[in-house]
């Protein structure tokens, strides 16, 4: 089985990562008055319903740079990156990631305070080959970029 | 034990890049275990990233975020030695926390 | 759907030991985006904690466990496996050696420690997986050098080679069916040639590995069991002679290669 | 028929002696190393003549006239379609070619077995997730549907050892992996001009 990443994870390399284990389940400090969790959008089981719950229909916008792999080795972990050029599309306050054919298309939504780059890297589950959407909200209007990712049937057993 | 988070915070020009890896199964609630019984939904619902005590990102997550989730964010400013903290809560009331200093 | 070639993208970390991928680079973009953030790092920590955790009727830790380099010596121990242990008069793989220490040092019941070595669907890691992951990380970067000085170790190699070619089951599959040629793949899953040094070193050196499809680190013992499941064979037992023999065959073919585990795999 | 196969197996074991750790020793090791699980029973570890003959590394010198006898025996054992109809439904054939399940300890025995052809072969040009252990079968239909071609293709699926002893390909008919109807559907997927195997990728 070829390794996805032949270079091992050296413990030494990982020392640059530090972890502070707080035994007590400390409540997050001052919770920034975050926008409430878009429960309706998360509950939606169809793409259009999820988009409607996030706002009106998004228009495609070239200022959104949405990177996904053309082919994912496995649908359980699909790395994605959303980057918005603030000159081309200013005042972005929220970025959402949707996976069209997932049971619940809305995978994640990020509130972005002023001063934070509009840059998100994460990994999502993609149930089957379909279109992924990056939706940015700026001044109450929704903009989007989409890309298709093929999920291959891995392994021998099928 | 509170969920562990490994964080890397790196100064990049006038910006700081944060990469966080979180220890969590992110179960959707739609899977069955080996015995055929449903595995209850268990996923991170809120994740917050702080620079010092200044929030730089608030994530709302569904069960479609991959297991042992990874999050990369960037914010303007940040000096070497500043604290960067990540905190999450999940749908079962669990929490996780991790902290590091900017390099 | 146009296949997207990123041949020009230099991802040195991935190129180093992998021959031209049998999947002709179709996942390069995917692996490039994944980078090296491997959740196995959590399992390494959990394994380390378990090594130093008093357990069993003796409430003893595993620090007295001799992995071949002396009691408690873990650095560089994994790359010498499988090897002969006089105290058990047997050639052991890492998993059976750990079971030996759990029963003899910690006084734990054999049935209990071997009941569920590998995570089942819905589990989030087992003690054995965590210990093996940490001990593999303790050998990360070391040269693969399984012991072959003892006659029993050499006999295990030839037994392993023969099992490697043993065709059985409704589909007449043996390990060699898929792992006897280089540059081949099942669907888009590249298959290392385990009869060659390069293929064996790449495979033996990268397990245990975090399987993104399962969100778990899997050991070589599990890898063999799951391969046999797909060969339509009955279930391979952890630490069994056939498992140790196959691991010896692979490790000796891989000798001289570099241990890069824990890997990051599909 | 059983006696014949047994006879061949005995000859084989003798000719393989130079190569083997004693055959009975390896059987004992396997017996102590595996346990039955659901439909994957321990009997599956007992080898027949073909498996015994082919359990050696490539290039092992093997007794050629013994192999020829075995190949002949496999050819004669092939069962052609009872009604003489070789081609079924290519849409169902596509499913058989894609389905990788069947006969594993983790599979539901009440479900039909898959052929898993895509694991090792390229077939429809539009499908990128194909294997390379076997040759590409894209455009197989161009070979036409002569009686000889139908019989050749059927025999390859039924028991490939009839032509190519020690091939890596499973014996889909002889080992009862696929039913006669499933074999007909796979034949259609390969030979029917309307099948995507014989079309350009869209």
Q: Residue D101: its chain A contacts at CB < 8 A?
A: 157-158
Q: Looking at chain C from residue 92 to 131, which residues have their Cβ under 8 Å from any Cβ of chain B?
A: 120-124
Q: Residue A20: its chain C contacts at CB < 8 A?
A: none
Task: Classify residue D82: in a domain, yes or no.
Answer: no
Q: Looking at chain A from residue 115 to 144, which residues have their Cβ under 8 Å from any Cβ of chain D?
A: none
How many angstroms separate the CA of residue B18 from the nearest CA in chain A?
A: 10
**Does one domain contain both D98 and D35?**
no
| pLDDT mean over D62-91 | 93
Task: Classify residue A28: in a domain, yes or no.
Answer: no
Distances (CA, A) of C38 to A25, C42, C211: 25, 9, 10
- Per-residue pLDDT tens listing for chain C (266 residues): 333 444 444 433 333 333 445 677 888 899 889 887 899 999 999 999 999 999 999 999 999 999 999 999 999 999 999 999 999 999 999 999 999 999 999 999 999 999 999 999 989 999 999 999 999 999 999 999 999 999 999 999 999 999 999 999 999 999 999 999 999 999 989 999 999 999 999 999 999 999 999 999 999 999 999 999 999 999 999 999 999 999 999 999 999 999 999 999 98
**Three-state SS annotation for chain C:** CCCCCCCCCCCHHHHCCCCCCCCCCCCHHHHHHHCCCCCHHHHHHHHHHHHCCCECCCCECCCCCECCCCECCCCCCHHHCCEEECCCCEEECHHHHHHHHHHHCCCCCHHHHHHCCCCCCCCCCCHHHHHHHHHHHCCCCCECCCCCCCHHHHHHHHHHHHHHHCCECCCCECHHHHHCCCCEEECCEEECCCCCHHHHHHHHCCCCEEECCCCEEECHHHHHHHHHHHCCCCEECCCCHHHHHHHHHHHHHHCCCECCCCEEEC
Beta carbons of B58 and A34 less than 8 angstroms apart: yes
User: Residue A47, CB half-sphere, CA atoms under 13 Å: how many?
Assistant: 15
Residues with Cβ within 8 Å of residue A136, at least 6 apart in sequence: A61, A64, A82, A84, A89, A92, A94, A95, A118, A142, A143, A144
| pLDDT mean over A25-36 | 52
Beta bridge pairs of residue B44:
B90
What is the bridge-based pairing of β-strands B54-61 and B44-51?
A: antiparallel
Of B31, B32, B68, nearest to C42 by CB-CB distance is: B68
Task: Classify residue A157: in a domain, yes or no.
Answer: no
Of A8, A67, A71, nearest to C27 by CB-CB distance is: A71
**Domain stops at, among D44, D76, D108:** D76
Task: Classify residue A32: in a domain, yes or no.
Answer: no
C4 close to D (CB below 8 A): no
Contact across the interface for A108 and B21, Cβ inside 8 Å: no
Task: Classify residue D83: in a domain, yes or no.
Answer: no
Of C168, C187, C235, nearest to D131 by CB-CB distance is: C187
**Disruptive mutation site among D168, D170, D202 for chain C (greatest number of C CBs within 10 Å):** D168
Contact across the interface for D116 and A156, Cβ inside 8 Å: yes
**Cα D11 to chain center, whole Å?**
23
| pLDDT confidence of residue A48 | 96
Q: Residue B100: its chain A contacts at CB < 8 A?
A: 17-20
What is the bridge-based pairing of β-strands B15-22 and C235-236?
A: unpaired
Which other chains touch chain C, taking contact as 3+ CB pairs less than 8 Å apart?
A: A, B, D
Residues with Cβ within 8 Å of residue D101, at least 6 apart in sequence: A157, A158, D107, D111, D113, D114
C236 close to A (CB below 8 A): no
**Does one domain contain both D99 and D62?**
no
How many angstroms separate the CA of residue B97 from the nearest CA in chain A?
A: 7
**Does one domain contain both D109 and D181?**
yes
Q: Residue C192: its chain A contacts at CB < 8 A?
A: 1-2
How many angstroms separate the CA of residue A57 from the nearest CA in chain B?
A: 21
Number of domains chain A contains: 1
C167 close to D (CB below 8 A): yes
Beta bridge pairs of residue B75:
A116, B16
Q: Collapsing DSSP states into helix, strand and coil, what is residue B51?
A: strand
pLDDT over 70 for what percent of chain D? 87
Size of interface B-C (CB pairs under 8 A): 36
| pLDDT confidence of residue C52 | 98
Beta bridge pairs of residue C185:
C190
For the question of whether the overall pTM of this predicted structure is more than 0.80, the answer is: yes
Is the bond leading into C82 cis (omega within 30 degrees of zero)? yes
Report the catalytic residues of C. 227
Q: Looking at chain A from residue 53 to 82, which residues have their Cβ under 8 Å from any Cβ of chain D?
A: 71
pLDDT over 90 for what percent of chain D? 79
Of A22, A115, A125, nearest to B2 by CB-CB distance is: A22
Per CATH, domain B3-31+38-101 is 2.30.30.40: no
Domain CATH code at residue A133? 2.60.40.2470
Fold assignment, C38-265: Cytochrome Bc1 Complex; Chain D, domain 2 (1.10.760)
Task: Classify residue D24: in a domain, yes or no.
Answer: yes
Domain ranges, residue A51: 39-151
pLDDT per residue as tens digits for the range D42-54? 999 999 999 999 9
Task: Classify residue D48: in a domain, yes or no.
Answer: yes
User: Closest residue of D to C225, CA-based?
Assistant: D34
Domain ranges, residue D145: 90-198
The structure tokens listed for D155 are 């025999």
ipTM: 0.86
**Disruptive mutation site among A77, A94, A108, A132 for chain B (greatest number of B CBs within 10 Å):** A108
| pLDDT confidence of residue C235 | 98
Task: Classify residue A16: in a domain, yes or no.
Answer: no
Task: Classify residue D85: in a domain, yes or no.
Answer: no
What does the mean pLDDT of chain C come to? 91
Q: For residue D6, count other CB atoms closer than 10 A to its CB.
A: 11
- For residue B42, the 8-state DSSP code is B
Domain CATH code at residue D130? 1.10.760.10
| pLDDT mean over D20-42 | 90
pLDDT per residue as tens digits for the range C150-199? 999 999 999 999 999 999 999 999 999 999 999 999 998 999 999 999 99
């Amino acid at each position: 089985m070829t390794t996805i990443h032949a270079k091992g994870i050296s413990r030494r390399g990982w020392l640059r990562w530090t972890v502070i284990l707080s035994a007590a389940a400390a409540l997050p400090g001052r919770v920034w008055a975050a926008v409430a969790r878009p429960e309706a959008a998360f509950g939606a089981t169809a793409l259009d319903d999820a988009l409607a719950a996030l706002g009106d229909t998004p228009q495609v916008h070239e200022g959104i740079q949405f990177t996904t792999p053309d082919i994912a080795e496995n649908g359980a972990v699909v790395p994605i990156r959303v980057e918005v050029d603030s000159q081309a599309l200013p005042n972005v306050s929220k970025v959402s990631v949707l996976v069209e054919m997932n049971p619940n298309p809305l995978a994640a939504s990020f509130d972005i305070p002023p001063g934070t780059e509009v840059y998100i890297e994460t990994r999502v589950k993609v149930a089957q080959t379909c279109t992924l959407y990056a939706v940015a909200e700026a001044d109450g209007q929704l903009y989007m970029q989409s890309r298709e990712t093929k999920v291959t049937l891995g392994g021998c057993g099928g | 034990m509170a969920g562990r988070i490994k964080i890397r915070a790196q100064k990049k020009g006038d910006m700081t890049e944060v990469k966080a890896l979180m220890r969590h199964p992110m179960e959707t609630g739609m899977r069955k275990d080996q015995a055929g019984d449903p595995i209850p939904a268990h996923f991170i619902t809120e994740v917050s990233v702080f620079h010092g005590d200044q929030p730089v990102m608030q994530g709302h997550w569904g069960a479609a975020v991959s297991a042992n989730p990874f999050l990369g964010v960037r914010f303007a400013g940040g000096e070497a030695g500043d604290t960067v903290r990540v905190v999450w809560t999940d749908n079962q009331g669990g929490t996780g926390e991790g902290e590091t200093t900017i390099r | 759907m146009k296949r997207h070639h990123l041949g020009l993208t230099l991802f040195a970390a991935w190129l180093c030991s992998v021959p031209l991928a049998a999947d002709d680079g179709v996942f390069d973009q995917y692996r490039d985006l994944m980078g090296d953030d491997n959740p196995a790092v959590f399992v390494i920590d959990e394994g380390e904690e378990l090594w130093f955790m008093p357990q069993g009727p003796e409430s003893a830790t595993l620090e007295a466990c001799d992995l071949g380099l002396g009691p408690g010596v873990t650095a560089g121990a994994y790359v010498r496996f499988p090897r002969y242990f006089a105290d058990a008069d047997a050639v052991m793989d890492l998993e059976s050696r750990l079971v030996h220490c759990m029963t003899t040092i910690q006084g734990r019941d054999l049935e209990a420690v071997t009941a569920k070595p590998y995570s089942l669907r819905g589990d989030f890691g087992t003690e054995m997986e965590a210990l093996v992951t940490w001990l593999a990380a303790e050998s990360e970067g070391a040269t693969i050098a399984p012991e072959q000085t003892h006659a029993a170790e050499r006999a295990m190699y030839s037994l392993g080679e023969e099992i490697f070619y043993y065709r059985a089951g409704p589909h007449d599959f043996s390990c060699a069916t898929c792992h006897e040629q280089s540059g081949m793949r099942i669907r888009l899953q590249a298959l290392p040639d385990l009869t060659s040094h390069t293929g064996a070193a790449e495979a033996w050196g990268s397990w245990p590995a975090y399987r993104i499809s399962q969100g778990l680190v899997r050991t070589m013992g599990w890898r063999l069991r799951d391969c046999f499941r797909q060969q339509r064979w009955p279930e391979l037992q952890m630490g069994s002679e056939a498992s140790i023999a196959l691991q010896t065959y692979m490790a000796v073919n891989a000798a001289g290669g570099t241990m890069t585990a824990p890997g990051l795999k599909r | 028929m059983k006696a014949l196969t047994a006879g061949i197996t005995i000859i084989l074991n003798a000719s393989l002696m130079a190569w083997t750790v004693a055959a009975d020793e390896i059987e004992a090791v396997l017996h102590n190393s595996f346990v039955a699980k659901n439909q994957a029973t321990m009997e599956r570890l007992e080898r027949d003549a073909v498996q015994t003959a082919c359990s050696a590394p490539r290039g092992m010198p093997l007794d050629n006239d013994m192999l020829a006898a075995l190949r002949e025996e496999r050819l004669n054992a092939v069962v052609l379609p009872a009604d003489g109809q070789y081609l079924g439904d290519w849409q169902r054939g596509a499913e058989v070619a894609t389905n990788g399940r069947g006969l594993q300890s983790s599979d539901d025995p009440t479900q039909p077995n898959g052929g898993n052809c895509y694991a090792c072969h390229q077939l429809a040009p539009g499908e990128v997730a194909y294997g390379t252990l076997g040759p590409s079968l894209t455009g197989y239909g161009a070979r036409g549907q002569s009686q000889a071609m139908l019989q050749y293709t059927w025999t390859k699926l039924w028991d490939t050892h009839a032509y190519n002893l020690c091939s890596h390909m499973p014996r889909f008919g002889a080992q009862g992996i696929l039913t006669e109807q499933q074999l007909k559907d796979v034949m259609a997927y390969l030979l029917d001009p309307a099948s995507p195997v014989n079309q350009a990728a869209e």
